[in-house]
A and B are shown apart, each in its own frame.
Chain A
Amino acid sequence: MANRAERSNYELAIIGAGIAGLSAALFAAKEGIETVMVGETGEILFASGLLDLLSVHPIGEGKLWDDPWAALNALRNDLPDHPFSKVSPAHIRTSIDGLLEFLSEQNLPYRRDPDRNVEVVIAMGGVKRTYCVPETVWNGVQALEEKQPTLLVDFEELKGFSALQIATTLTDRWPGLRTATIPFPGGRGLQYAEQLARALENPESRGSLACDIRACLGRAQMVGFPAVIGLYRTREVFKDLEKRIGVPVFEIPTLPPSVAGLRLRDAFHGGLAAKGVRLFPRHRVAALRYELNSNFILDIEASDGGKTLSAGAVILATGRFLGRGLRGDRGRIHETLLDLPVFQPQERALWHRHDFLDPRGHGISEAGLMIDNRFRPIAADCDPVHPHLYAAGSVLGHQNWVRAKCGSGLSVATAFAAVNAFLTT
């Protein structure tokens, strides 16, 4: 009879469990809104763990900004339709502060310089400009800035990560880098970051790893690892490894699927449930229906059976093509749940440029939902489709997060704005 006791009506339903959906759930819960969140874990598993705010504008010029807030100001002047232009700077700050506070409570603290983007070394020898980084990455930011003598470590069978590649990319910029490739302690055949991270939860593995590292430390004052230092108790694992090695340690973000994404997912799921959000994390909304002036009906499905929920308002945070919030067929681009109007190039031939790396970005990247100033999807006549239907995150049009380097920041800020719009109706 437990099923019958479970409520099925909520004030707010959030569809989508990427950064946007999770953040929206967090902001709603903080305000005491009765919230349900339905969504499969999506792109977050691909995330690097870095929270970008904005570092490139305008993208065609590839202009890089040190100060993300100044970049946001410039963007606001140039691109009035950009979703960032519909959130006040104060709200953007509040949203990020709120997220960082929450992650810290969940034992997954982040670090930043409040008014400045920082540079991080990532896999493949890239140097990425971003805004907030996991605490476990922070030492690397400083090591790069101060060019400290550092040992970069990789593991024999871990795919897609080569310390030598990073060092030989950065020779000019960071001459004090040395590298070591070591067999992963206690077992071969581990090729994925997640497997290594799980193994390092075990203190014995850390002990023997530290032992190997100390043997090749030389004059290095820091040690950089691929981001595999712990999975569930990252902080503890990290501090312990640092103590055993005896010099500061840092993580280098890896290619997806990354451990950073799993850590974020776990932190959110645990924290949101504790704040009273009802989560359906392995479920999909198969259909969303509404009648004007009445509740939304969500048909949700999962391998263990379906359910129907109702809610007074909905935030769509369903992502783009990868998240499955948008779908492209040969003729046009559709929004997947309600077939909402989608801003898009006129024909498929204009979706993509001839060069993959064209600095101007692809036309299709700007496709997405059109919204009013209260983050409600609008129809062709510019009126909201429904007074209580909101949208947030990358499903929104008129933005290109990939090229502007604003993925998480945009998702968090627009999630905040959507919740805020709901609250002030």
Chain B
Amino acid sequence: MHTQVLIIGAGVTGLGLARDLVLRGISCIIVEQGDINSGASGRNHGLLHSGARYVSSDSEVAAECLEEADILKRLAPQCVEETGGLFVAVEGDDERFIADFPGLCQKARIPAQSLDIQEALEMEPCLSQKIIAAYRVPDATVDPFKLALQNFCEAHNHGTKLLRYHKVVGFKKAGNRLISAHLINTETGAAIFVEADQFISAAGAWCGEIARMAGADMDMLYSKGSLTVTHSRLSNRVINRLRKPADGDILVPGGTVSIFGTTSLRMDVPADVRPTVREVDHLVSEGAAMIPGMENVRYIRAYAGIRPLIRSGPDAGDRSVSRGFILVDHAEDGIDNFLTISGGKLTTYRLMAERTADRVCERLGVCKPCRTKEKPLPVDPAFEWTEPGLAPREWIKHPDHHDPLLCECEMIPASVIESVVNAFRSQGGKPSLKAIGLRTRMGKGACQGSYCGARVTSHLCDRGDLTGLEARKELRRFLQERWKGERSILWGGQLVQSELKEAIYCGLLGLEM
């Protein structure tokens, strides 16, 4: 297999880069060890930063966020909800920090409007009576799955190929150049080699590993962040704690749910991370200071992602390390056709892709300008279903009682599952519960897969997509995967749900045996 550009990593950065390149007429292949958004792009907060969070720590990042958020609101409105955001401080928070905030925002040109307390409480009744300051900023939310899937759709429509479940394990080199990447199919163990003119690592937290395989070196830090998902939406707007960035600072609405986080724990290696009971308890109590209801709401999940951080200056804790991105040209390490793009934010993924694509074009002698700054992101209706609340809205508009709702929590009928499976197949994917879960809200409601897991597998068997034996294996995988996010939030109502789930899948179906 040969291509002009091989991109490693199908997170938003790699996918955004593929889109940028194909729009300039350059062909690429993306290789990904899992499916789309297996890394940080699928485990983040979904906050489209106005930049206000970074005004005190990193004015450059703040400016990038402000500009990029604005571009995304205009060009990818289908992925964005313009919720607006608040910054609030509670009794006991650092007065100096509060006093400096408006000036810093002004300097960064981020509109921050001071609110009186009563006004803020009326806007967001969930807030604590003990807030002492409140500002309104233009924060918004972004659906990272829709964003990634829609970016890939356009790239795919222009011929980009995605090798899912293929892990890069090494490179072949000749002199100062990489010749091919050595890939292992993580499902079958089969090896393949892909030759390319240029190699780009967009492997997020795994960039260090990839660089090492190529014979280069990168000094990286890793920080784990855990988030909790509540059963219902707690606020209309994004709510940030107005203090020096710390744990449990941000509540982000996501359609019908809210997401609260994060923690920040140093990791030695970018491993498969799971939230712990202790982290969740910590988040609940931090959150309750700002939003008292967080003590009693129902949580349905928690998840964790890894931030790759770029070491800069004296080590003053992970939150003070830059959130900016780096584009490393490994010519410095003696490899002439290898770049790494890492760090940054979801909010700035487009800019990261643009800068990287500019460099690739330079190398390939292509002089076409970036188009993603003006061209709207096309909407492919088959990949809209990650949006919370979309399926129920559609169902209520056109209920069809011959179209069984396979997932009742999120109201996903069989026809939606089928359209997603068909679209996914046309992109070369093999349907699995995990793949469907990534492209819809299936399994994300209160039952966390108790019913829909079984119903969707049966449906796939009926369609001939899976045999019964494959279905059993699939179901096991799906349940284990969901469990990672359930285990730390199982008390109250969700504990009841998990007991039912175990009664069905173990008590009745014996899947543990």
Which residues does A use to contact B, with CB under 8 Å? 43, 46, 48, 56, 62, 64, 122-128, 154, 157, 159-162, 164-171, 181, 188-189, 191, 253, 255-256, 320-322, 324, 327-330, 347-349, 351-352, 354-359, 362, 364-365, 401-403, 405, 407
Pair A128/B457 contact, Cβ less than 8 Å: no
CB distance from A72 to the nearest CB of B (A): 18
Q: How far, in whole Å, are A369 and B440 apart by their CA atoms in the complex?
A: 41
CB neighbours (8 Å) of A365 from chain B are 502
Residue among B464, B479, B499 with most chain A CB within 10 A = B499
Q: How far, in whole Å, are A159 and B456 apart by their CA atoms in the complex?
A: 9
Beyond known contacts A124-B468, A165-B468, A191-B405: 16 more, CB 8 A cutoff: A46-B503, A159-B405, A160-B454, A164-B468, A165-B461, A188-B402, A253-B508, A255-B451, A255-B454, A328-B495, A329-B491, A329-B492, A351-B490, A352-B490, A357-B506, A364-B495
CB neighbours (8 Å) of A356 from chain B are 479-480, 482-483, 486, 502, 505
Pair B402/A157 contact, Cβ less than 8 Å: yes
Q: Which of B450-478 contact A (CB under 8 A)?
A: 451, 454-455, 457-459, 461-462, 464, 467-469, 471-472, 475-476
Q: How far, in whole Å, are A11 and B209 apart by their CA atoms in the complex?
A: 73
Q: How far, in whole Å, are A352 and B489 apart by their CA atoms in the complex?
A: 11
CB distance from B160 to the nearest CB of A (A): 35
Pair A189/B402 contact, Cβ less than 8 Å: yes
Q: How far, in whole Å, are A312 and B330 apart by their CA atoms in the complex?
A: 83
Number of B positions contacting A (CB below 8 A): 53
- Kindly state whether residue B513 has any CB partner on chain A within 8 Å: yes
- Kindly state whether residue B213 has any CB partner on chain A within 8 Å: no
Q: How far, in whole Å, are A122 and B468 apart by their CA atoms in the complex?
A: 13
Pair A328/B277 contact, Cβ less than 8 Å: no
Pair B469/A168 contact, Cβ less than 8 Å: yes
CB distance from B19 to the nearest CB of A (A): 37
Q: Nearest CB to that of B285 among chain A residues?
A: A330
Pair B512/A168 contact, Cβ less than 8 Å: no
Pair B457/A328 contact, Cβ less than 8 Å: no
Q: Select which of B402, B458, B496 is within 8 A of A160 by beta carbon.
A: B458
Give the top 9 A-B pairs by smallest Cβ distance, nearest first: A169-B468, A165-B461, A356-B483, A168-B468, A189-B401, A162-B458, A168-B467, A402-B507, A125-B468
B interface secondary structure, majority: helix
CB neighbours (8 Å) of B503 from chain A are 43, 46, 322, 402, 407
Pair B404/A157 contact, Cβ less than 8 Å: yes
CB neighbours (8 Å) of A157 from chain B are 402, 404
CB neighbours (8 Å) of A352 from chain B are 487, 490, 498
- Kindly state whether residue B509 has any CB partner on chain A within 8 Å: yes
Pair A349/B468 contact, Cβ less than 8 Å: no
Q: How far, in whole Å, are A407 and B500 apart by their CA atoms in the complex?
A: 13
Could you jot down 24 A-B contacts, CB within 8 Å? A62-B512, A122-B509, A125-B472, A126-B509, A128-B508, A159-B406, A164-B464, A164-B468, A165-B457, A165-B468, A169-B471, A188-B402, A253-B508, A322-B499, A328-B490, A329-B491, A330-B491, A354-B487, A356-B483, A356-B486, A357-B479, A357-B480, A359-B513, A401-B507
Q: Nearest CB to that of B511 among chain A residues?
A: A357
CB distance from B38 to the nearest CB of A (A): 19
CB distance from B415 to the nearest CB of A (A): 12
Pair A348/B491 contact, Cβ less than 8 Å: yes
Residue among A166, A191, A347 with most chain B CB within 10 A = A191
Pair A321/B454 contact, Cβ less than 8 Å: no
Q: How far, in whole Å, are A99 and B499 apart by their CA atoms in the complex?
A: 26
Pair B274/A169 contact, Cβ less than 8 Å: no
CB neighbours (8 Å) of A253 from chain B are 508
Q: How far, in whole Å, are A356 and B500 apart by their CA atoms in the complex?
A: 13
Pair A349/B509 contact, Cβ less than 8 Å: no
Q: Select which of B461, B490, B507, B512 is within 8 A of A357 by beta carbon.
A: B512
Q: How far, in whole Å, are A172 and B502 apart by their CA atoms in the complex?
A: 27
CB neighbours (8 Å) of A364 from chain B are 495
Pair B507/A405 contact, Cβ less than 8 Å: yes
CB neighbours (8 Å) of B513 from chain A are 56, 62, 64, 359
CB distance from B294 to the nearest CB of A (A): 12
Pair A403/B506 contact, Cβ less than 8 Å: yes
Q: How far, in whole Å, are A330 and B278 apart by their CA atoms in the complex?
A: 11
CB neighbours (8 Å) of B17 from chain A are none
CB distance from A163 to the nearest CB of B (A): 8
CB distance from B465 to the nearest CB of A (A): 11
The digit string for B236-276, where 1 denotes a CB below 8 A from any CB of A, is 00000000000000000000000000000000000000101
Pair A349/B480 contact, Cβ less than 8 Å: no
CB neighbours (8 Å) of A127 from chain B are 510
Pair A128/B483 contact, Cβ less than 8 Å: no
Q: How far, in whole Å, are A347 and B512 apart by their CA atoms in the complex?
A: 24
Q: How far, in whole Å, are A48 and B475 apart by their CA atoms in the complex?
A: 20
Q: How far, in whole Å, are A181 and B284 apart by their CA atoms in the complex?
A: 49
CB neighbours (8 Å) of A327 from chain B are 492
Q: How far, in whole Å, are A260 and B204 apart by their CA atoms in the complex?
A: 52
Q: How far, in whole Å, are A326 and B295 apart by their CA atoms in the complex?
A: 20
- Kindly state whether residue B394 has any CB partner on chain A within 8 Å: no
CB neighbours (8 Å) of A124 from chain B are 454, 457-458, 468, 471-472, 475, 509
Q: How far, in whole Å, are A191 and B459 apart by their CA atoms in the complex?
A: 13
CB neighbours (8 Å) of A189 from chain B are 401-402
Q: How far, in whole Å, are A189 and B400 apart by their CA atoms in the complex?
A: 9
CB neighbours (8 Å) of A169 from chain B are 467-469, 471-472
Q: How far, in whole Å, are A164 and B479 apart by their CA atoms in the complex?
A: 22
CB distance from B283 to the nearest CB of A (A): 12
Q: How far, in whole Å, are A159 and B500 apart by their CA atoms in the complex?
A: 18
Q: How far, in whole Å, are A126 and B472 apart by their CA atoms in the complex?
A: 9
- Kindly state whether residue B281 has any CB partner on chain A within 8 Å: yes
Q: Select which of B479, B492, B506, B508 is within 8 A of A255 by beta carbon.
A: B508
CB neighbours (8 Å) of B406 from chain A are 159
Pair A358/B512 contact, Cβ less than 8 Å: yes
Pair A125/B471 contact, Cβ less than 8 Å: yes
Pair A403/B512 contact, Cβ less than 8 Å: yes
Q: Select which of A128, A168, A256 is within 8 A of B504 by beta carbon.
A: A256
Q: How far, in whole Å, are A327 and B406 apart by their CA atoms in the complex?
A: 29
Q: Nearest CB to that of A402 among chain B residues?
A: B507
CB distance from A196 to the nearest CB of B (A): 13
Q: Nearest CB to that of B277 among chain A residues?
A: A349
Q: How far, in whole Å, are A159 and B407 apart by their CA atoms in the complex?
A: 10
Q: How far, in whole Å, are A64 and B472 apart by their CA atoms in the complex?
A: 20
Pair B458/A165 contact, Cβ less than 8 Å: yes
CB neighbours (8 Å) of B487 from chain A are 352, 354
Q: Nearest CB to that of A181 among chain B residues?
A: B462
Q: How far, in whole Å, are A352 and B275 apart by their CA atoms in the complex?
A: 13
Q: How far, in whole Å, are A356 and B491 apart by their CA atoms in the complex?
A: 16
The digit string for B16-48, where 1 denotes a CB below 8 A from any CB of A, is 000000000000000000000000000000000
Q: Select which of B284, B471, B491, B508 is within 8 A of A165 by beta carbon.
A: B471
CB neighbours (8 Å) of B468 from chain A are 124-125, 164-171
Pair B510/A128 contact, Cβ less than 8 Å: yes
Pair A126/B462 contact, Cβ less than 8 Å: no
